[in-house]
C-alpha cells in the first residue's frame, strides 16, 4: 500500500481524485480535530492520501527556562539547548496518520513545493520512522492525566490510538518499519492539475534534507532571538503578563518601517510654494488650467507671472493627443491581492480570512502563493466557462471562453509553490461582505490578465493667458481592453478635454493663485506596507497580514494609515540608542536578508545548521550585552512612551493632564492627574493621596483611544479618536466631556432608538 502525505487536506483530496478512480473517504477524530483520509486504487495497489495541517513538529526550549528572569538570558543565548519535538496541537493528526499508515510499503511525501514544505515532509518522515521526540529530552515526563479529565486545547481531542501514558521513552512510537520510510519518494507539483500531479508521480525524487535544514535553522534562530529579546524588553520595562513587549525577526523590522516613516514626518520642514490656476470657458465647455511652470518657489516670481497673466481671454497655442497602451495587470499572488483589497477598504488580515473561506468553499484557488505566472497546465478555459454563469462578468467571460488561445499577462515572480490566485468556481448563493469583495476582485483580476491592453489617449493643451503659458491635461479611453472588467482606474482615465484647436479663444472666468506647502512623506497604508515587506523579504505570503495585525494587538501601532504609538516609537528608538556604539542588525530587515542568504547556503550543502545558528548566537550575545548596559534608558523611554499614549490633553479646570486610567474593575476612564511634578493633595480619611483636581469622565471601553491634540469647539475639553482593533472601522472623534452639548443630538437619537 502507498501512503501519500500532503501538507493540507485539500491537496490530499485532489491527488486522490486525480490518481484514483473511485475514492473512499474516512474520517478520524471529531470536531475541529477531524482528519480525513482518502482511499483509492492506484497501479494495481491500494493507496491512501492524508493531509497534515502544516507543521507537526516545533522547536522548544527545555522547561528549565520557563521562568522569566533576566538571569537566565545569558544561558538561553549560550546554551539554548533546543529540541525538535512533536507539536502538541498535532496529536489528532498523528493519531489519524498512525491509523492509516498501518501496512504501508511505500511512503510518498507530497507536501508543498517550497522550503517549508520540504521541512514538513522531513517532519512526517521523522514521525513515521519513530525518531521524533515527544518532549524535550531534559524535561521530566508529564504526569499521567486522569481518565476523562477535561483538558483545554487541541490535544484533548486526540483519540486513544495515541497512547497517553508516558512509558519513559521520549520518542514517538514508530508507525512504519525504518526500511519503508527510508526508501520514501518525494513528488513535487506546483499546481494540483492532472497533468502536473501525474508528471510528478512519474518522476519521483527524494526529500531534500539540506533544504529542510535551512528551514529548521530559521525556526531555531527565530525562537532564540524572539524569546531572549522579548523577555529582555519586557523585564527591562516591567511589562509582564498580558502587556509583555514582543520582539521578533520580522515584527520588529516591520515596526521600524512604520516608526522611521513617522520620525521622517516629524523632522520634515515644509517649504512654501505657489501655483496659479485659471478657469476658462467657451460656451458650455469648461477648462481648468494651471501655469505651465507648475510650482513657484518664490512669492515674487509668482506675483510677477500673475500680473502678466491679467487678460479677459485666453488663446490655445497647441493641442496634442497621443495614444498610449496601458498593460493589463499581472496575475494575483497573495501580496498583490492583499494590497488591492486594502485599496478597496478591506484590511490584509480580513482579506486573508475572506480568501481562506472562498478557497475552502471551492470558489478560488489556494490563496497563499508567491507565484504571478500561470503554469501552462492551468485550465483557463474551464474557469472562464464557469464564470460565464456569474452574472456580473458573464458576457466577458463567455466571449473569452470561445477564444482559441490565451496569452495571459505574467508577473515578475515565478515560483513553484502554487499557481497565482484565480477563480475556480461560481457562488451558488450570493456572497456578502468581505467575501463578496474579495471574490469580485479575484474574478475581475483574472479576466483582466486575459484581456488586451487598454488604449488611453493622453491629451495636452497649451494656452496663453496674457503673456504667460498655461496648460491642461486630459485623457480619453480610446479602447477599454481589460478596463472592461477592471475599471478601478477607468474613471480617472476618462477625463477628456473639450475639442480644442490652436487659435481657439476662451473666456477667462477666474484667475487666482494658491499658496501651498510641500507635504511630509505619507504614512504607510496596510497595502503599501505589505508590499514593502515583500520587497524587503520580511515574512512570507502566509504571515505578513498576521504580523501587521500583531503590531496592532501589541499596541505598537494604531489607525489606518498606520501610525506608531509612542510605545512603538520608544521600542525602536530604545534599540537604536543602545546599539549606537556597535550596531548589531537586530531590528533591521538586513538581518532577514542575511538569514536568507545563509539558508540558501545550507540548502546547497555549503553550511550546516549548527554553524549558522552558532553565528547567530554570537550576534545575539553582542546585542544583549549592549542592551544590558542600557536597561535604565530603555525603561525610561518605554515608560515615557506609554505615559504619552495615555495622556489625552489638558484639564480645563486646572491645567493638569487628562490621562486614561483603569479602575479596580478594569474599566478605563479619563481623569485629571494634575501637572507634571505636582504634589499629591493630602488625602481624606481612608483614601489615597491623589494629584489633580478630581475631574473624571467615562470612556468608551472598546477600541484604541488616541488624543487628536485638539480641544472640542463646544466645551473646550480634549478631543479623542476611537478606532476599532486593527485599524478597523470608521474612527469616532469625540470629546472626553460626557455632558458636552455636542453630544445632545447623538443622545437624542439613541434615546429615541432605545425607547
Partner DNA sequence: GCAAGGTC
Q: Which residues of the chain form contacts with DNA (CB under 7 A)? A: 7-10, 32, 51, 53-56, 58-61, 65-68, 87, 89-90, 112, 114, 116, 120, 218-219, 222-223, 225-227, 230-231, 234, 240-241, 244, 246-252, 356, 360, 368, 539-543, 546-547, 550
- Nearest approach in angstroms of CB 739 to DNA is 39
**How far apart (Å, rounded) are the C-alpha atoms in residues 666 and 699?**
12
**How far apart (Å, rounded) are the C-alpha atoms in residues 345 and 527?**
10
**Count, residues in the chain:** 755
Three-state SS at 25: strand
- Nearest approach in angstroms of CB 447 to DNA is 26
Please count the other Cβ atoms lying within 10 Å of the Cβ belonging to residue 298: 11
* φ, ψ (nearest 5 deg) of residue 259: -70, -45
All three cell numbers of 481, joined, read 481592453
Nearer to DNA among residue 121 and residue 411 (C-beta): 121
**How far apart (Å, rounded) are the C-alpha atoms in residues 151 and 143?**
13
**Dihedral angle sign, alpha carbons of residues 136, 138, 139, 140:** positive
Say how far residue 658 (Cα) sits from the centre of its chain. Answer: 35
- Nearest approach in angstroms of CB 449 to DNA is 23
Q: Dihedral, CA atoms, 197, 201, 202, 204, nearest 10 degrees? A: 130
**How far apart (Å, rounded) are the C-alpha atoms in residues 367 and 541?**
9
Nearer to DNA among residue 197 and residue 247 (C-beta): 247
* φ, ψ (nearest 5 deg) of residue 329: -75, 165
Residues 6+ apart with CB under 8 A from 461: 287, 289, 316, 318, 319, 320, 471, 472, 473, 474, 497, 500
**How far apart (Å, rounded) are the C-alpha atoms in residues 96 and 86?**
15
Nearer to DNA among residue 252 and residue 449 (C-beta): 252
**How far apart (Å, rounded) are the C-alpha atoms in residues 306 and 552?**
49
| Residue whose C-alpha cell reads 474612527 in the numeric block | 731
Nearer to DNA among residue 218 and residue 444 (C-beta): 218
- Nearest approach in angstroms of CB 60 to DNA is 7
**How far apart (Å, rounded) are the C-alpha atoms in residues 255 and 700?**
27
Task: For residue 726, give the nearest of 527, 550, 516, 571 by alpha carbon.
Answer: 550
All three cell numbers of 315, joined, read 488663446
- Nearest approach in angstroms of CB 260 to DNA is 17
Output DSSP code: residue 448. H
**How far apart (Å, rounded) are the C-alpha atoms in residues 8 and 51?**
4
- Nearest approach in angstroms of CB 68 to DNA is 3
- 186 contacts 201 by C-beta, under 8 angstroms: no
- 52 contacts 124 by C-beta, under 8 angstroms: yes
Please, is 287 exposed, middle or buried when counting C-beta atoms within 10 Å of its C-beta (0-12, 13-18, 19+)? buried
* φ, ψ (nearest 5 deg) of residue 515: -100, 125
- 149 contacts 176 by C-beta, under 8 angstroms: no
Nearer to DNA among residue 121 and residue 674 (C-beta): 121
Q: How far is CA 239 from CA 231, 242, 638, 661, in A?
A: 9, 8, 10, 16
| Residue whose C-alpha cell reads 494590497 in the numeric block | 339
Nearer to DNA among residue 83 and residue 101 (C-beta): 83
Peptide bond preceding 742: is omega within 30 degrees of 0, i.e. cis?
no
- Nearest approach in angstroms of CB 732 to DNA is 28
Nearer to DNA among residue 463 and residue 595 (C-beta): 595
All three cell numbers of 493, joined, read 482615465
- Nearest approach in angstroms of CB 387 to DNA is 24
Q: Is the backbone of residue 716 left (phi > 0), alpha (psi -120 to 50) or beta?
A: left
- Nearest approach in angstroms of CB 45 to DNA is 26
Which one from 366, 374, 524, 552 is the annotated catalytic residue? 366
- Nearest approach in angstroms of CB 352 to DNA is 9
**How far apart (Å, rounded) are the C-alpha atoms in residues 660 and 644?**
10
**How far apart (Å, rounded) are the C-alpha atoms in residues 96 and 84?**
21
- Nearest approach in angstroms of CB 487 to DNA is 31
- Nearest approach in angstroms of CB 271 to DNA is 38
Nearer to DNA among residue 155 and residue 292 (C-beta): 155
Please, is 644 exposed, middle or buried when counting C-beta atoms within 10 Å of its C-beta (0-12, 13-18, 19+)? middle
**How far apart (Å, rounded) are the C-alpha atoms in residues 344 and 488?**
10
- 568 contacts 552 by C-beta, under 8 angstroms: no
Output DSSP code: residue 203. S
Nearer to DNA among residue 251 and residue 396 (C-beta): 251
- Nearest approach in angstroms of CB 4 to DNA is 15
Does residue 406 carry a catalytic annotation?
A: no
Nearer to DNA among residue 116 and residue 563 (C-beta): 116
**In which order are the strands placed within the sheet that holds 657-662?**
647-650, 657-662, 668-672, 696-698
Nearer to DNA among residue 259 and residue 508 (C-beta): 259
Nearer to DNA among residue 360 and residue 748 (C-beta): 360
Nearer to DNA among residue 360 and residue 582 (C-beta): 360
Task: For residue 364, give the nearest of 10, 7, 117 by alpha carbon.
Answer: 10
Residues with a known catalytic role: 366
Amino acid at each position: 500500500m502507498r501512503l501519500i502525505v500532503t501538507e493540507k487536506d485539500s491537496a490530499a483530496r485532489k491527488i486522490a481524485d486525480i490518481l484514483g478512480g473511485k475514492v473512499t473517504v474516512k474520517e478520524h477524530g471529531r470536531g475541529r480535530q477531524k482528519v480525513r483520509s482518502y482511499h483509492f486504487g492506484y497501479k494495481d495497489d491500494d493507496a491512501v492520501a492524508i493531509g497534515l495541517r502544516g507543521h507537526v513538529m516545533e522547536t522548544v526550549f527545555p522547561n528549565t527556562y520557563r521562568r522569566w528572569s533576566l538571569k537566565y538570558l545569558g544561558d538561553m543565548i549560550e546554551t539554548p539547548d533546543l529540541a525538535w519535538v512533536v507539536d502538541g496541537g498535532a496529536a489528532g493528526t498523528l493519531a489519524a496518520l498512525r491509523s492509516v499508515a498501518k501496512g504501508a510499503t511505500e511512503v510518498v511525501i507530497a507536501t508543498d513545493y517550497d522550503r517549508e514544505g520540504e521541512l514538513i515532509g522531513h517532519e512526517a518522515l521523522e514521525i513515521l520512522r519513530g525518531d521524533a521526540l515527544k518532549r524535550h529530552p531534559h524535561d521530566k515526563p508529564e504526569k499521567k492525566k486522569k481518565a476523562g479529565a477535561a483538558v483545554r486545547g487541541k490535544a484533548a481531542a486526540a483519540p486513544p490510538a495515541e497512547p497517553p501514558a508516558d512509558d519513559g521513552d521520549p520518542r514517538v512510537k514508530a508507525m512504519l518499519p525504518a526500511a519503508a520510510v527510508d526508501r520514501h519518494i518525494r513528488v513535487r507539483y506546483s499546481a494540483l492539475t492532472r497533468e502536473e500531479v501525474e508528471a510528478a508521480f512519474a518522476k519521483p525524487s527524494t526529500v531534500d534534507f539540506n533544504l529542510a535544514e535551512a528551514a529548521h535553522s530559521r525556526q531555531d534562530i527565530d525562537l532564540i532571538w524572539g524569546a531572549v529579546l522579548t523577555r529582555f524588553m519586557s523585564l527591562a520595562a516591567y511589562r509582564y503578563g498580558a502587556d509583555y513587549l514582543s520582539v521578533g525577526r520580522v515584527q520588529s523590522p516591520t515596526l521600524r518601517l512604520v516608526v522611521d516613516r513617522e520620525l521622517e514626518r516629524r523632522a520634515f520642514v515644509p517649504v512654501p510654494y505657489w501655483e496659479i490656476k485659471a478657469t476658462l470657458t467657451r460656451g458650455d465647455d469648461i477648462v481648468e488650467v494651471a501655469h505651465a511652470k507648475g510650482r513657484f518657489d518664490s512669492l515674487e516670481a509668482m506675483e510677477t507671472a500673475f500680473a502678466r497673466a491679467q487678460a479677459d481671454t485666453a488663446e490655445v497655442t497647441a493641442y496634442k493627443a497621443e495614444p498610449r497602451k496601458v498593460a493589463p495587470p499581472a496575475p494575483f499572488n497573495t501580496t498583490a491581492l492583499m494590497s488591492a483589497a486594502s485599496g478597496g477598504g478591506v484590511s490584509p488580515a480580513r482579506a486573508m480570512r475572506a480568501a481562506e473561506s472562498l478557497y475552502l468553499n471551492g470558489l478560488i484557488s489556494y490563496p497563499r502563493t508567491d507565484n504571478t505566472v500561470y503554469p501552462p497546465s492551468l485550465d483557463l478555459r474551464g474557469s472562464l466557462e464557469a464564470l460565464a454563469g456569474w452574472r456580473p462578468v458573464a458576457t466577458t467571460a463567455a466571449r473569452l471562453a470561445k477564444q482559441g488561445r490565451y496569452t495571459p499577462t505574467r508577473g515578475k515572480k515565478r515560483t513553484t509553490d502554487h499557481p497565482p490566485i484565480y477563480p475556480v468556481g461560481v457562488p451558488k448563493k450570493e456572497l456578502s461582505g468581505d467575501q463578496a469583495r474579495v471574490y469580485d476582485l479575484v474574478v475581475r483580476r483574472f479576466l483582466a490578465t486575459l484581456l488586451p491592453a487598454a488604449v488611453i489617449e493622453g491629451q495636452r493643451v497649451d494656452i496663453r493667458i496674457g503673456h504667460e503659458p498655461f496648460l491642461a491635461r486630459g485623457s480619453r479611453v480610446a479602447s477599454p481592453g481589460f478596463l472592461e472588467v477592471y475599471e478601478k482606474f477607468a474613471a480617472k482615465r476618462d477625463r477628456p478635454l473639450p475639442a480644442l484647436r490652436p487659435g481657439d479663444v476662451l473666456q477667462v472666468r477666474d484667475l487666482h493663485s494658491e499658496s501651498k506647502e510641500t507635504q511630509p512623506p505619507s504614512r504607510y497604508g496596510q497595502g503599501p506596507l505589505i508590499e514593502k515587506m515583500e520587497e524587503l523579504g520580511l515574512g512570507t505570503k502566509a504571515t505578513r497580514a498576521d504580523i501587521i495585525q500583531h503590531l496592532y494587538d501589541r499596541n505598537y501601532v494604531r489607525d489606518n494609515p498606520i501610525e506608531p504609538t509612542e510605545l512603538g516609537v520608544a521600542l525602536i528608538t530604545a534599540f537604536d540608542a543602545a546599539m549606537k556604539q556597535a550596531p548589531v542588525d537586530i531590528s533591521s530587515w538586513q538581518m532577514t536578508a542575511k538569514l536568507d542568504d545563509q539558508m540558501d547556503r545550507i540548502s546547497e550543502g555549503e553550511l550546516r545548521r549548527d554553524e549558522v545558528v552558532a553565528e547567530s548566537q554570537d550576534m545575539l550575545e553582542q546585542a544583549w550585552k549592549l542592551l544590558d548596559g542600557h536597561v535604565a534608558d530603555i525603561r525610561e523611554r518605554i515608560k515615557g512612551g506609554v505615559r504619552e499614549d495615555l495622556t489625552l490633553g489638558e484639564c480645563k479646570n486646572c491645567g493638569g493632564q487628562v490621562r486614561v486610567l483603569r479602575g479596580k474593575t478594569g474599566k478605563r476612564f479619563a481623569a485629571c492627574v494634575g501637572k507634571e511634578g505636582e504634589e499629591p493633595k493630602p488625602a481624606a480619611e481612608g483614601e489615597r493621596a491623589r494629584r489633580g483636581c478630581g475631574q473624571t469622565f467615562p470612556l468608551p471601553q472598546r477600541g484604541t483611544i488616541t488624543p487628536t491634540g485638539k480641544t472640542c469647539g463646544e466645551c473646550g475639553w480634549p478631543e479623542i479618536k476611537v478606532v476599532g482593533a486593527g485599524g478597523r472601522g470608521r474612527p469616532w472623534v469625540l470629546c472626553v466631556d460626557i455632558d458636552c452639548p455636542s453630544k445632545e443630538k447623538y443622545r437624542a437619537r439613541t434615546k429615541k432608538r432605545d425607547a
